[in-house]
């Protein structure tokens, strides 16, 4: 029942300027003075939420992935956030879960934001990514995925290897470029996902105007398994570190075993196929 320490970086982003964003974010990571294990960056952290995919995309050997490998190794952290990736002829809003040893997992955003024309420029993913760190299971999702609860829904409790009951995951992370004009939905849905899945939820959003003059108010949050808000920051840039306790999570699930009463269901188009993102052990 080791605790898990996570750092959220809520920041403005330089529009379509990779070099400026990577330098800014590296400086913020270096300035973290607490011991942390996971650092969470916003959606499309190297460019902002841009539809200029042809000019900004890179492959998995590109500048930003190489930067993530180096920064993760140098700071001995898991580093995560999404960037624009081209693979064959397709473009993806791809979350990368980078481990200090250079191994990584990927999650391609499943729910593309048609209202903002993301569906015209990117391809949707079809697999969830559930990573493991120090015995914690972490479900990783991107922005608009938050509006679709089935994609995040815990399956009913299954027996674990010790003969007890285990949930699919313990922490649900959303990285986002979620505009201020819909911030009420962002805050409400983050709390809903925590309550209905009996898990910690971490939502990391950007602040400031993007290149389309759309204002983002941040409202990054950490919410516990009962829906209590442990951290909330609006409008300002902020780097915040929090330690999550596994014991309190398991006690709550044991006292209120709601997940075992959940509906049996499956998603057929596309089918869910969780992948593992590796592990980080002290």
CATH number at residue 172: 3.60.110.10
- Reduced to 3 states, what is the DSSP secondary structure of residue 107? strand
Is 139 inside a domain boundary? Answer: yes
Q: With cut-offs at 50, 70 and 90, classify the pLDDT of residue 267.
A: confident
User: CA 235 to CA 220: how far, in whole Å?
Assistant: 9
Is 276 inside a domain boundary? Answer: no
pLDDT above 60 (res 159): no
Q: With cut-offs at 50, 70 and 90, classify the pLDDT of residue 157.
A: low
Burial 169-194 (b: 16+ CB within 10 A, else e): bbbbbbbbbbbbeebeebbebbbbbb
- Contact yes or no for 174/190 (Cβ under 8 A): yes
The predicted pLDDT at position 195 comes to 98
Domain membership of residue 142 as a residue range:
4-261
Give the tens place of pLDDT for each residue, 106-148. 999 999 999 999 999 999 999 999 999 999 999 999 999 999 9
Is 281 inside a domain boundary? Answer: no
Query: Per the structure, how many domains does the chain have?
Result: 1
Is 269 inside a domain boundary? Answer: no
Query: What average pLDDT does range 233-243 have in this prediction?
Result: 98
Is 164 inside a domain boundary? Answer: yes
How is 44-85 classified by DSSP, letter by letter?
TTTT-S-S-HHHH-B-TTSHHHHHHHHHHHHHT-EEEEEEEE
How is 117-147 classified by DSSP, letter by letter?
THHHH-PPP---EEEEETTEEEEEEEGGGGG
Q: With cut-offs at 50, 70 and 90, classify the pLDDT of residue 165.
A: low
Q: Which helix (H) or strand (E) holds 26?
A: helix 18-30
Is 278 inside a domain boundary? Answer: no
Pairing of strands 90-98, 129-133: unpaired
Catalytic residues: 43, 109, 143
Give the tens place of pLDDT for each residue, 177-227. 999 999 999 999 999 999 999 999 999 999 999 999 999 999 999 999 999
The predicted pLDDT at position 278 comes to 47
Q: How far is CA 253 from the centre of its chain?
A: 23
Query: What average pLDDT does range 53-78 have in this prediction?
Result: 98
Is 156 inside a domain boundary? Answer: yes
- Contact yes or no for 142/185 (Cβ under 8 A): no
Query: What average pLDDT does range 55-75 have in this prediction?
Result: 98
User: CA 138 to CA 119: how far, in whole Å?
Assistant: 26
Is 157 inside a domain boundary? Answer: yes
């Amino acid at each position: 029942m080791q605790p898990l320490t996570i750092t959220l970086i809520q920041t403005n982003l330089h529009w379509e300027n990779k070099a400026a964003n990577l330098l800014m974010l590296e400086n913020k990571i270096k300035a973290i003075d607490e011991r942390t294990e996971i650092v969470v960056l916003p959606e499309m952290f190297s460019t902002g939420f841009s539809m200029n995919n042809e000019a900004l995309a890179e492959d998995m050997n590109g500048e930003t992935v190489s930067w993530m490998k180096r920064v993760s190794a140098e700071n001995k952290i898991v580093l995560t956030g999404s960037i624009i990736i081209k693979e064959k002829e397709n473009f993806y809003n791809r979350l990368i879960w980078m481990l200090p040893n250079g191994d990584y997992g990927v999650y391609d955003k499943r729910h593309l934001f048609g209202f903002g024309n993301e569906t015209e420029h990117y391809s949707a993913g079809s697999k969830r990514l559930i990573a493991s760190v120090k015995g914690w299971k972490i479900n990783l999702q991107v922005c608009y995925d938050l509006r679709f609860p089935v994609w995040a829904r815990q399956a009913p409790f299954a027996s674990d290897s010790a003969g007890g009951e285990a949930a699919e995951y313990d922490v649900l992370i959303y990285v986002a470029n979620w505009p201020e004009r819909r911030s009420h939905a962002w805050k409400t849905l983050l709390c809903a996902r925590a309550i209905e899945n009996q898990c910690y939820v971490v939502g990391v959003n950007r602040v400031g105007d993007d290149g389309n003059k759309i204002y983002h108010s941040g409202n990054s949050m950490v919410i516990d398994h009962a829906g209590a808000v442990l951290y909330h920051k609006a409008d300002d840039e902020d780097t915040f570190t929090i330690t999550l306790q596994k014991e309190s999570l398991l006690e709550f699930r044991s006292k209120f075993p709601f997940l075992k009463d959940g509906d049996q269901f499956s998603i057929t188009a596309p089918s869910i196929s969780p992948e593992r993102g590796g592990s980080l052990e002290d």
